[in-house]
Amino acid sequence: MTDTAIDIQNLDVWFGSGRDRSVAVSQARFAVEQGESFGIVGESGSGKSTILRAIAGLVPTWSGDMIVAGEALGPRRSKAFYRKVQMVFQDPYASLHPRQTVDRVLSEAMGLHGLTDIDSRIPRLMENVGLGPSFRFRFPHQLSGGQRQRVAIARALACSPQILLLDEPTSALDVSVQAEILNLLTDLRRDHGLTYIMVSHDLGVVGHLCERIAVMKQGRIVEVLDVETMRRLEAADPYTRQLLDSSIQSSRSV
Partner 1 sequence: MTTANLRDWLLSDAPTSRRQARFASWYKGWLTLRSNTLAMVGLIVLALIILAAIFAPVLATHDPYAQDLGQRLLGAGHSGHLLGTDSLGRDIYSRLLYGARISIYIVLLVAMVAPLVGLIVGTVSGYAGGWGDVVLMRITDIFLAFPRLILALAFVAALGAGIENAVLAISLTAWPPYARIARAETLTIRNSDYIHAIRLQGAGPFRIVTRHIWPLCISSLVIRVTLDMAGIILTAAALGFLGLGAQPPSPEWGAMISEGRKYILDYWWVATFPGLAIFAISLAFNLLGDGLRDMLDPKEDTA
Partner 2 sequence: MSDPLLDVENLRVSFATRTGIIEAVRGISFTLGRERLGIVGESGSGKSMTGRAILRLIRPPGRVEADHITMHGEDILAASEARMRQLRGGRVSMIMQDPKFSLNPVMTVGQQLIDSLRAHEKLARSECRQRAIAMLDEVAIRDPERVMGLYPHEVSGGMGQRIMIAMMLLPGPEILIADEPTSALDVSVQLQVLDIMDQLVKNRGMGLIFISHDLNLVAKFCDRIAVMYAGRIVECCKASELHKAQHPYTLGLLNAVPDLEHPRPRLEVLQRDPAWREALSVSARS
Query: Residue numbers of the site for partner 1 (CB under 8 A)?
Result: 56-58, 79, 82-83, 86-87, 89-91, 94-99, 101, 103, 108-109, 112-113, 134-139, 141-142, 152, 155, 158-159
Q: Between residue 189 and residue 218, which ones bind partner 2 under the rule CB under 8 A?
A: 201-205, 207-208
Residue 249 binds to partner 2 (criterion: CB under 8 A): yes
Residue 185 binds to partner 2 (criterion: CB under 8 A): no
Amino acid at position 9, single letter:
Q
Q: Which stretch binds partner 2 (CB under 8 A): 49-57, 62-70, 84-92, 226-234?
A: 226-234
- Closest distance of CB 13 from partner 2, Å: 21
Residues 222 and 243: their CA atoms lie apart, in Å, by 12
- Closest distance of CB 159 from partner 1, Å: 7
- DSSP notation for the chain: --SEEEEEEEEEEEES-GGG-EEEEEEEEEEEETT-EEEEE--TTSSHHHHHHHHHT----EEEEEEETTEE--SS--HHHHHHEEEE-S-TTTSS-TT--HHHHHHHHHHHTT-S-HHHHHHHHHHHTT--GGGTT--GGGS-HHHHHHHHHHHHHTT--SEEEEESTTTTS-HHHHHHHHHHHHHHHHHHT-EEEEEES-HHHHHHH-SEEEEEETTEEEEEEEHHHHHTT--SSHHHHHHHHHHHHHHS--
Residue closer to partner 1, measured from CB, 101 or 247: 101
Per partner kind, with CB cut-offs from 5 to 8 A, the member of partner 1, partner 2, none near residue 101 is partner 1
Site string for partner 2, 142-181 (x = CB under 8 A): ---x----------------------------xxxxxxx-
Residue 248 binds to partner 2 (criterion: CB under 8 A): yes
Residue 1 binds to partner 2 (criterion: CB under 8 A): no
Site string for partner 2, 29-58 (x = CB under 8 A): --------------xx--------------
Residues 195 and 102: their CA atoms lie apart, in Å, by 25
Binding positions for partner 2, rule: CB under 8 A: 43-44, 145, 174-180, 182-183, 186, 201-205, 207-208, 227, 230-231, 242-244, 246-254
